[in-house]
Amino acid sequence: MTGSRLKRDTYSSISPLQIITAQVSREVGLIDAADILQESTASSGQQIDLTFTGFVLDNGPGSSTVSLRGLGESRTLVLLNGRRLAPAGVEGAPFAANLNQVPASMVQQYDILLDGASSIYGSDAIAGVANIILRKDFDGFEIEGYTRIPDYDNGVDHTLSIVWGKNWDRAFVGFGGEYTTSEAVTLEDRPWTGRL
């Protein structure tokens, strides 16, 4: 259980917990783990994603992180099936989990602990915990394709995801992969910067 060492259901938990299912997120057009966690109500402040150009990132370019309650990504713990997701990136010393490593097509739900959990997980969970729970209940092969088209020219995103899984009585094996391409956006592609 997210935020506790004791097994209990969500309704009897003492800590406030927000659960976002992957199916509902897909219906509103949010596919990537970074998009879903950064758009949640618990996220606030500057969120780092692929479009961020404010300054040099500690995790390196191409990294997406989540900052809960505006306290920064170094104070937000990201778990994968209840286990810590290791820091990843290039340049310097990466300190936060890169959400681009999570195959969105294999995610069942996102549990976000809205309270600080430093007494359980340590100082990197002061802002809260985001637990990404992967699917374990599917057999067969799935292919999904998504396209995101902005209101203005260029910037179209294409995502192709492939998932394979096999269930047995006491075991499960699953593989997932994604390929994403994004068109470049220049200053003249947007009306508020095109006339500079």
Q: In the sheet that 172-182 helps form, which strands lie side by side, from edge to edge?
A: 140-148, 157-167, 172-182
Q: Is residue 69 within 8 Å of 58, Cβ to Cβ?
A: no
Which among 29, 174, 38 is positioned nearest to 110, based on CA atoms?
38
Reported as a single tens digit per residue, the pLDDT across 24-71 is: 777 666 767 777 776 776 665 555 555 555 555 565 566 777 878 777
Reported as a single tens digit per residue, the pLDDT across 129-162 is: 888 888 887 888 989 888 888 888 778 888 888 9
For the 1-135 domain, the top CATH level (class) is mainly beta
Statement: the pTM of the whole predicted model exceeds 0.85: no
Instruction: Pinpoint the residues of the chain covered by CATH 2.170.130.10.
Output: 1-135
Q: Exposed, middle or buried: residue 99 (CB in 10 Å: 0-12, 13-18, 19+)? A: buried
Which among 13, 194, 23 is positioned nearest to 117, based on CA atoms?
13
